[in-house]
Amino acid sequence: MNDNWQGHDELENLYRLLEIFDEEDADGKRKYKENKSLVAEQWMMEQWHENEEKRRGGWTVNGRAPNSDQLHVLQSLQLDRFMSLVKEDPAKFTRMTRLHPDDFFYVLGCIKPRLEYHVNYNSVNPILKLVAALRFLAGGLAIDICWGWGLNENSFYAFVWEVCEAIDEVINNIEFPCREKCHTDEEFMHKLFMLEREFAIFSKEYIRGTVAAIDGVVFRMERPDPKEVNGDVKSYFVRKNYYAYGMQAMCDARCRFVSLSSSLCSSSHDASVYKCSNFAEMIRDGKLPNNFHVVMDEAYPCTEYELTPWSGKDLTVEQDAFNFYLSRQRQCIERAFGMLVGRFGIFWRPLKINMSRIPLVISVCAKLHNICVDRFHYQKNIDTFHNNSRDTDHQDGDRFLPIYDDRTGIYRGYRRDLEVSKKRDRITEDVGSKGGRRPPLSKHSRIFRGV
């Protein structure tokens, strides 16, 4: 038998083993013992080869680490499979990696200089690293990805975190317009007006001035190690009866994330997390012009820069219409969360990674989500938007909300029925004067409820 790297020796040994088992001998007991010893020896040799592979951290050829030529051939075969998939079935490639081929190569071009690659026994081509990381974020299992792309399972997570850290550091497409980052005030105002114009479409221009929608979300995870949370495990157990990691997010009208924040534990109230976010600090510092604002749900207090729906059931026609059109704008953040979780299958089951890695995974998935949204514009969904949208969400009925007191550092009660916002009063009056009404077929309409 010709001894080469393609594994013919192992195949011939397997055939010889099967032939021995097929033999019939009068002394069956003795033959059975010999076969049993042969199987044990074969198993021991396989275990030794597997341990050698794990110890070296790379591919093996006949139980030995391949040389540079053999490694080049192995990776060339995988790259040929990759290129054939991209050319012959780009739709399937998009399903596997969640990125269009053009976006894949854009990300690869951004992070390739940061991915170490040397032709030796423990190096993997950057293309295979990125494919493996994207498939992992899309919901694939490590054992299946390694088997499908010929990677070493022992080194798989090192590839994933290397790619994720590179994407998070190089690609910066999550940012809200900031005066300090713009060259001129005209550029800053132009960016805000572009955001405002897109939101105005959702409310049929009844509500103007909205530049972002804000809400909180939790991602289910395994029970954290007490050492990772300083022993405060119960603070990460949410009211939905599971452990989760909390995140506060902002998005634009196209469902692109423009800000992420995770300053407090997941059991904290949304309003408390918002008060500790960078955007809330930006508003407190007066960096958002007076004619702009953000939209939120009933969990947040209503101010001149943060608009929330009118609470209660006995609302006027104008207040009910305001809630409806505000809800149409605010639902952008709900859709963004749905698109994010639906696109990346790693969020379909409890996260089983180190808690310190969870913010990295969320940030990378959000940035990849923005890349996908930029390619597949959300205009089609804007044109087919339904009129029977809800004006409340899962926190409907919240009347007594705890918020963070910056002066004392403690929680205090907040009365929704006593809050005052002149901007909300003015916009509500404008909506009524322009003839804005909730559609009569909506289940929240006063006509539908017989009011």
Mean pLDDT of 183-198: 90
CA distance 164 to 363: 9
- 41 vs 89: CA distance, rounded Å: 44
Residue 63: inside a domain: no
CA atoms of 371 and 32, how far apart (whole Å): 62
> Which comes out higher in pLDDT, residue 356 or 410?
356
Q: How confident is the model at residue 77 (pLDDT cuts 50, 70, 90)?
A: confident
Q: Answer yes or no: is 1 within a domain.
A: no
**Can you give the pLDDT at residue 38?**
52
183 shares a domain with 97: no
The predicted model gives 187-202 an average pLDDT of: 91
Q: What is the pLDDT of residue 253?
A: 92
Mean pLDDT in residue range 54-69? 48
| Whether 159 contacts 151, CB under 8 Å | yes
pLDDT for 80 equals 80
What does the block give as tokens for 312? 């209660």
* 12 and 118, same domain (yes or no): no
Q: Does residue 336 share a domain with residue 202?
A: yes
Mean pLDDT of 91-109: 91
Same structural domain, 275 and 421: yes
245 vs 4, more confident: 245
CB 215 within 8 A of CB 296: yes
How confident is the model at residue 443, as a pLDDT?
57
Q: Is 421 helix (H, G, I), strand (E, B) or coil?
A: coil
Report whether pLDDT(15) > 50.
no
Question: What's the CA gap between 109 and 126, in Å, rounded?
Answer: 10
Q: Are residues 278 and 241 in the same domain?
A: yes
Neighbour tally for 173: CB within 10 Å = 15
List, for residues 135-158, the tens digit of each pLDDT value. Answer: 999 999 998 998 888 787 888 898
Which of 347, 322, 327, 438 is CA-nearest to residue 393?
327
Residue 235 confidence class, pLDDT cut points 50, 70, 90 = confident
Instruction: pLDDT band for 377, please (50, 70, 90 cuts).
Output: low
Each residue's pLDDT tens digit, 78-96: 788 888 888 889 899 999 9
Are residues 320 and 245 part of one domain? yes
- Residue 134 has a pLDDT of 95
Range of the domain at 125: 68-170
pTM, full prediction: 0.74
Residue 451 lies in a domain: no
Provide CB contacts within 8 A for 302, sequence distance 6+.
308, 419, 421, 424
Identity at 103, one-letter amino acid code: D
pLDDT of residue 73: 60
Mean pLDDT of 111-117: 81
What pLDDT, on a 0 to 100 scale, did the predictor assign at position 130? 93
31 in any annotated domain: yes
pLDDT value at position 270?
Answer: 77
Residue 150 located in a structural domain: yes
User: Residues 107, 218: one domain?
Assistant: no
- Do residues 188 and 212 lie in contact, with contact meaning Cβ atoms separated by under 8 Å? no
From CA 61, how far away is CA 54, in angstroms rounded?
13
Q: What is the mean pLDDT of residues 14-38?
A: 49
Rounded CA Rg of the chain: 29
Residue 447 lies in a domain: no
What mean pLDDT is predicted for residues 108-136?
Answer: 80
Assign residue 241 a region (left: φ > 0; alpha: ψ between -120 and 50; beta: otherwise). left
- H or E segment to which residue 48 belongs: helix 28-56
Per-position b or e across 87-102, b if 16+ CB within 10 A of its CB? eeeeeebbebbbbbee
335 confidence band (pLDDT: 50, 70, 90): very high
Q: pLDDT category, 290, cuts 50, 70, 90?
A: confident
pLDDT of residue 444: 56
Query: Quick one: pLDDT band at residue 258, thresholds 50, 70, 90?
Result: very high
Our CA angle for 94, 247, 363, nearest 5°, is: 40
Residues 147 and 220 in one domain: no
Mean pLDDT, residues 347-374:
93
Does 269 lie in the same domain as 292?
yes
Mean pLDDT is lowest, of 5-19, 332-346, 357-371, 387-401, for 387-401
* Residue 325 three-state SS: helix
> Where a domain ends, among 129, 146, 170?
170
Are 152 and 57 spatial neighbours (Cβ–Cβ below 8 Å)? yes
Tokens of 398: 């919240």
In this predicted structure, which of 56-65, 243-252, 346-355 has the lowest mean pLDDT? Answer: 56-65
Q: Is the pLDDT of residue 344 over 90?
A: yes
Cα separation of 39 and 32, whole Å? 10
Q: Tell me: do 233 and 358 sit in the same domain.
A: yes
pLDDT digits (tens, 9 = 90+) for 155-168: 889 889 999 999 99
For the ranges 111-125, 158-172, 291-305, 351-365, which has the lowest average pLDDT? 111-125
Residues 199 and 342 occupy one common structural domain: yes
128 in Cβ contact with 75 (< 8 Å): yes
What whole-number distance in Å separates Cα of residue 37 and Cα of residue 284? 77
Averaged pLDDT score across all residues of the chain: 76
Residue 174 has pLDDT above 60, yes or no: yes
Domain finish residue from 170, 194, 218? 170
In the chain, the percentage of residues whose pLDDT exceeds 90 is 29
Secondary structure of 236-289 in the HEC alphabet? Answer: HECCCCCEEEEEEEEECCCCCEEEEECCCCCCCCHHHHHHCCHHHHHHHCCCCC
Q: Indicate whether 165 and 183 sit together in one domain.
A: no
Residue 202 one-letter amino acid = F
Q: Domain boundary at 170, 198, 228, which?
A: 170
Residue 233, Cβ neighbours under 10 Å: how many? 15
Note the pLDDT tens digit of each residue in 414-447: 445 456 678 888 999 998 888 888 887 665 555 4
Residue 110, in any domain of the structure: yes
pLDDT higher than 50, residue 403: no
Segment 374-394 mean pLDDT: 44
What are the tokens at 105? 């190569």
Give a yes or no: residue 440 inside a domain: no
Terminal Cα distance for the chain, rounded: 89
Q: How far apart are CA 369 and CA 167, in angstroms?
A: 12
Based on the structure, what is the number of domains in the chain? Answer: 3
- So what's the pLDDT on residue 13? 53
Q: Do residues 169 and 114 make contact, with C-beta atoms less than 8 angstroms apart? A: yes
Q: Tell me the C-alpha distance between 245 and 358, whole Å.
A: 8
